[in-house]
Chain A
Amino acid sequence: MAEKPYGLIATFDTPGALMHAAEQVRDAGYMKWDCITPFPVHGLDKAMGVRRSKVPRISLAGGITGFCTGMSMIWFMDRFDYPITVGGKPLFSPLFAFPVSYELTILFTAFATIGGMFFLNGLPMHYHPVLNYEDIRRGTDDLFFLVIEKADARYDAANTRALLEKVGGKLVNELES
């Protein structure tokens, strides 16, 4: 038994068993927990009660920022900073500022998407307590795991262990932090 446990880890043999366990853990009201599977299990996010990613909102904010950056940059440069009349066109028109604004929209959207994904996932993450678990390598092969963190408000060493055993978890072990 570790001095400062990270949480409890339970093992499952099949995706179906994990799916049903996840539904019950979700219904028990746990928030800080996760499933580890060797491959994507369709419907598991729903069984876990995971909502859709918030990354698109960050992407949208990035896109709007990029568009406004392009428009205001060209407006400032062409209208005030270095005004030149080209081809009898007005000093500023959204038309010729559009291609650049459009490119910046894409660029800033891409940056916001990547950055938002890293931020929401807590990346880069160089250490995770689960990696200390001896059987974890089989989580990339033929075993399924469910981890409930101690940081969860509902966590209670005895009750949580009882829940994991009740939902069919084998080898419920404590994880070192």
Chain B
Amino acid sequence: MTKPDSSKALGIGIAGIAVTALGLLVSKPHVIATAWLVGIGFWTAIAIGMLMMILIHHIFDAGWSTVLRRQYEHGIAAFPWLLLLFLPLVAASYLGSHDLIWPWMNPDHQIVGGHQVKDDILYVKKHAFLNLPLFTIVTFVFFGLWIWISARLRKASFTQDGDGDVRWTRMSGKTAGFGIPIVALTLTGAAIYWFKSLEYHWFSTMYGVWFFANCMRGALSCGVLIMLWLYNRGDFKGILKTDHLWAIGQLMLTFTVFWAYVSFSQYFLIWNANVPEETFWYNIREFGDWWYVSLFLVFGNFLLPFLLLLSYRFKVTHRTIRRIAYLVLFVIFVDLCYNILPALQDKDGNPQPFLSINLLWAVTSVIGVGGVAIAAYLRSFPTTKLIPIRDPRIAECLNHNE
């Protein structure tokens, strides 16, 4: 196992951050900050998905995913860095009129129709929840819990490499027991605070589940890419079996259907009820080129990956499953843009187009945060054994057979 070079990833990340920062010379700070939310949201989703995959592995005492779990344990090393990269958004909310990103943070913020946020009954009703101090506290608490649970899982797994004590596996089982509800609630809260509250009028009980579906899809796709990367480096020769790819491909199919189920249900209930407080959210997403983005999500985010992942051969052929993984990561990015960027509106309350300079800053943000997150993974990678060699389930994983 040779040590991978993390400085290149870090360099790309810093370059992405620098280009995004230079965007302040071109676009308004409001635009840059909202695009940054796409970047931080994308990689935080993947990290949360990896954390969830580890917890689910432990709660089921799973066998096949033991080798994959070690890579996820390196992946969740990114949480402290993601918190660091989230801080500018929190700091910016304390500056000026507080509404750089989230309009409800400024009671005097003008909303469409000449009203102000403080006179808006939907804000007044949600005020106990939507206020800057609580937002700050929960953001830190959420990241704190993710970092703490990650540290527990990493410590248990890495220490077991040395002493082979089954006690560490039991400890991770307990972590999974309380960790799954904690992560489920915090990821829901994060999705509501960070993304949904951009249009605070809106209601959707599906939102946290929608975010969870994207978290899992992102983590699974990254898992495929990591396993194939290690296979091509030579580390996973003799470890990665066809049936590992088959198993992870099945989960990718599952969460593709799950994403579609949740997203459709959200749309369907709002379409059926036809209440203006809810339909406006989809109306602005049918404006201009967002209409085509909506259709792309239906066909590109569901139908195409669904049909591709039905095939056994596509799931186990390295070249094909790698392309499917890239496709899924791309559509998750588009899905986050679809949820976040229409908050950038013109004077008439219409969303700025998808294909605009705003998209460029979203892309540079994803590259910027991604470089740092991948560097965190690569720095953690050489600190332990390649696979958890003394895990009680390791033999089961290495001999995994359908």
* A residues neighboring B (CB under 8 Å): 42-43, 52, 56, 60, 87-89, 95-96, 98-99
Interface residues of B in 245-292 (CB under 8 A from A): 264, 267-268, 271-272, 274
Known: A52-B312, A60-B310, A98-B264. A43 touches B401 (CB 8 A): yes
**What are 5 sample pairs from A and B whose C-beta atoms fall under 8 A apart?**
A60-B310, A89-B272, A95-B268, A95-B272, A96-B272
Judging by beta carbons under 8 Å apart, are B274 and A56 in contact? no
Residue of B nearest to A43 (CB): B401
From the candidates A42, A43, A56, A88, name the one contacting B312 in the complex (CB within 8 A). Answer: A56
From the candidates B267, B268, B272, B401, name the one contacting A87 in the complex (CB within 8 A). Answer: B272
Q: Which residues of A contact B274 (CB under 8 A)?
A: 87-88
Judging by beta carbons under 8 Å apart, are A98 and B268 in contact? yes
Residue of A nearest to B400 (CB): A42
Residue of B nearest to A86 (CB): B272
Interface residues of B in 187-204 (CB under 8 A from A): none
Q: Which residues of A contact B401 (CB under 8 A)?
A: 42-43
Distance between Cα atoms of A87 and B279 in the complex (Å): 15
How many chain-B residues does the 8 Å CB contact rule pick out? 10
Distance between Cα atoms of A95 and B282 in the complex (Å): 15
Q: Which residues of B contact A60 (CB under 8 A)?
A: 310
Distance between Cα atoms of A52 and B310 in the complex (Å): 14
Distance between Cα atoms of A108 and B271 in the complex (Å): 28
Distance between Cα atoms of A56 and B272 in the complex (Å): 35
Secondary structure of the B side of the interface?
Answer: helix
Q: A42-B399, A96-B272 are in contact. List 5 more A-B contacts (CB 8 A).
A: A56-B310, A87-B272, A95-B268, A96-B268, A98-B264
Residue of A nearest to B261 (CB): A102
Known: A43-B401, A56-B312. A99 touches B272 (CB 8 A): no
Q: Which residues of B contact A89 (CB under 8 A)?
A: 272
Residue of A nearest to B399 (CB): A42
Q: Which residues of A contact B268 (CB under 8 A)?
A: 95-96, 98-99
* A108: min CB distance to chain B, Å: 15
List the 9 closest A-B pairs by CB distance, nearest first: A42-B401, A95-B271, A95-B268, A52-B312, A98-B264, A87-B274, A60-B310, A96-B272, A98-B268
Q: Which residues of B contact A42 (CB under 8 A)?
A: 399, 401
B 202-213 binary contact with A (CB < 8 Å = 1; else 0): 000000000000
Q: Which residues of A contact B267 (CB under 8 A)?
A: 95
Residue of B nearest to A87 (CB): B274
Distance between Cα atoms of A151 and B271 in the complex (Å): 61
Q: Which residues of B contact A99 (CB under 8 A)?
A: 268
Residue of A nearest to B273 (CB): A87
* B118: min CB distance to chain A, Å: 34
Residue of A nearest to B274 (CB): A87
* B285: min CB distance to chain A, Å: 16
Distance between Cα atoms of A42 and B398 in the complex (Å): 13
Distance between Cα atoms of A16 and B319 in the complex (Å): 33
Interface residues of B in 299-330 (CB under 8 A from A): 310, 312
Q: Which residues of A contact B399 (CB under 8 A)?
A: 42
Distance between Cα atoms of A89 and B399 in the complex (Å): 56
Q: Which residues of B contact A43 (CB under 8 A)?
A: 401
* A74: min CB distance to chain B, Å: 14
Q: Which residues of A contact B264 (CB under 8 A)?
A: 98
* A65: min CB distance to chain B, Å: 16
Distance between Cα atoms of A70 and B401 in the complex (Å): 37
Distance between Cα atoms of A87 and B271 in the complex (Å): 11
Q: Which residues of A contact B272 (CB under 8 A)?
A: 87, 89, 95-96
